[in-house]
């Protein structure tokens, strides 16, 4: 493999391209939007829609393997690309994770704990779902949600109509509210030989549904760290997965509950850039390119802080800190709620 095609040109595509370039590989980005952050560091960039069959074909023919930095790629584009080049991670991982109902069912069928959930398509199924699950609960669109968008919380059954209205008619899933003490995530990788390497679980702090901070080590006992890694490995193997996967989990008194999976490098794995010899981006490129995996061992404690919107004002101060590595995405326009970069604050390994 010499050239890797990446669907999506955001910051994840940018950091994948940097990692590939360090390994002497080239990346070709495919992105419908203008000025993708990945374009300026990649070898090539195609700006075209996912409906443009000629552009998709030319893109596929120019690369050896195709991967992606976001999971909501239209099925028609995937069908076309798959006939021309291998897509890694494969279609099954995308099929499962593009729809929250399919995803939760897959996790439950693997024997993993999830929030109680039910399909909601109309007023009648909402009533049935609420009878079974009760409140508090969260209604989420089945597809296309991220950063807590497309979600409505229900404190009492009286909130049902307002929550349904917030879905704008889209199919949804009702989830029972998990009373968690912490949120953690595992970033895990599997290569074509079936080797698995997991990074240490990170502890995640969200604000308004958007990730603010990831801390490693997570404040959980050793056996629970092991449980988290075993859950991630089980998911990788079940999907015959090739690449990096993010698994978000809730810590509860009864053990770990899986929230969701992301078939790609993950924001909560950005700490690996300064806490590990091989970070999640290089690990993904290695897996996709058919290389051996790097070691996931952690050599430092790290706090990863997302720089969102006006947080960019902190950059001059952060740039003066000797313990802090800055990763900025080169986005021209700062907007409220937009992820502009992150800072990894690195200290000696404690445990």
Residue ranges in contact with ligand ATP by CB under 6 A: 115, 138, 145-149, 175, 177-178, 183, 206, 209, 248, 259-260
Piece of the chain touching Mg ion by CB under 5 A; list 8-16, 21-29, 150-158, 247-255: 247-255
- Nearest of 25, 58, 31 to residue 43 by alpha carbon: 25
Among ligand ATP, Mg ion, none, what does residue 115 contact (CB within 5–8 Å per kind)? ligand ATP
- For the bound state, the minimum distance from the C-beta of residue 145 to ligand ATP, rounded and expressed in Å, comes to 4
d(CA 248, CA 240): 19
Output the six-digit token pair for 143. Answer: 């597809």
- For the bound state, the minimum distance from the C-beta of residue 177 to Mg ion, rounded and expressed in Å, comes to 15
Q: Which helix (H) or strand (E) holds 166?
A: helix 160-166
Which residues does the annotation place in the binding site for ATP? 100, 140, 145-151, 175-178, 183, 206, 259-260
Q: Between 177 and 291, whose beta carbon lies closer to ligand ATP? A: 177
> Is residue 49 helix, strand or coil?
coil
Q: Between 92 and 260, whose beta carbon lies closer to ligand ATP? A: 260
Q: Which of residues 144-203 bind Mg ion (CB under 5 A)?
A: none
Q: Which residue has the tokens 């690369």?
A: 63
Among ligand ATP, Mg ion, none, what does residue 185 contact (CB within 5–8 Å per kind)? none
Q: Between 227 and 248, whose beta carbon lies closer to ligand ATP? A: 248
Piece of the chain touching Mg ion by CB under 5 A; list 79-87, 132-140, 225-233, 244-252: 244-252
Q: Between 268 and 273, whose beta carbon lies closer to ligand ATP? A: 268
Question: What is the contact mask toward Mg ion in residues 260 to 279, using x (rule: CB under 5 A)?
Answer: x-------------------
DSSP symbols for 15-38 = HHHHHHHHTT-EEEEE-SSSS-TT
Largest CA distance in the chain: 58
d(CA 306, CA 5): 27
Q: Please check whether residue 128 is in contact with residue 122, taking contact to mean a CB–CB distance below 8 angstroms.
A: no
Helix, strand and coil in the chain, % to nearest 5: 30, 30, 40
d(CA 5, CA 55): 13
Q: Between 248 and 279, whose beta carbon lies closer to ligand ATP? A: 248
Query: What are the residues binding Mg ion (CB under 5 A)?
Result: 248, 260
């Amino acid at each position: 493999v010499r050239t890797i095609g990446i669907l999506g040109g955001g910051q994840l595509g940018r950091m994948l391209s940097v990692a590939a370039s360090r390994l002497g590989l080239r990346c070709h980005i495919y992105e419908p939007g203008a000025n993708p952050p990945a374009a300026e560091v990649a070898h090539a960039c195609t700006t075209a829609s996912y409906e443009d069959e000629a552009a998709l074909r030319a893109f596929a023919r120019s690369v050896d393997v195709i991967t992606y930095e976001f999971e909501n790629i239209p099925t028609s584009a995937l069908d076309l690309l798959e006939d021309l080049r291998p897509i890694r991670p494969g279609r099954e991982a995308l099929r499962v994770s593009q729809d929250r109902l399919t995803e939760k069912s897959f996790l439950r069928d693997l024997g993993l704990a999830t929030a109680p959930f039910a399909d909601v398509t109309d007023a009648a199924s909402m009533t049935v779902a609420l009878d079974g699950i009760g409140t508090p609960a969260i209604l989420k669109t089945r597809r296309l949600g991220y950063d807590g968008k497309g979600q409505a919380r229900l404190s009492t059954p009286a909130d049902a109509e307002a929550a349904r209205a917030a879905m704008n008619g889209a199919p949804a899933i009702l989830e029972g509210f998990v009373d968690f003490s912490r949120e953690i995530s595992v970033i895990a990788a599997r290569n074509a030989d079936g080797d698995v390497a997991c990074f240490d679980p990170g502890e995640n702090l969200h604000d308004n549904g958007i990730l603010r901070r990831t801390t490693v080590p997570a404040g959980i006992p050793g056996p629970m760290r092991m449980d988290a890694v075993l859950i991630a490995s089980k998911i990788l193997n079940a999907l015959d997965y090739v690449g990096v996967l993010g698994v978000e989990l809730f810590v509860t008194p009864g053990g770990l509950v899986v929230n969701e999976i992301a078939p790609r490098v993950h924001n909560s794995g950005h700490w690996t850039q300064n806490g590990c010899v091989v970070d999640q981006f290089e690990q993904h490129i290695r897996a996709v390119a058919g290389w051996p995996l790097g070691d996931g061992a952690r050599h430092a404690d790290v706090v990863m802080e997302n720089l969102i919107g006006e947080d960019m004002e902190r950059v001059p101060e952060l740039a003066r800190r000797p313990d802090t590595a800055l990763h900025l995405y080169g986005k021209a326009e700062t907007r409220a709620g937009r992820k502009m970069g992150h800072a990894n604050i690195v200290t000696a390994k404690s445990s």
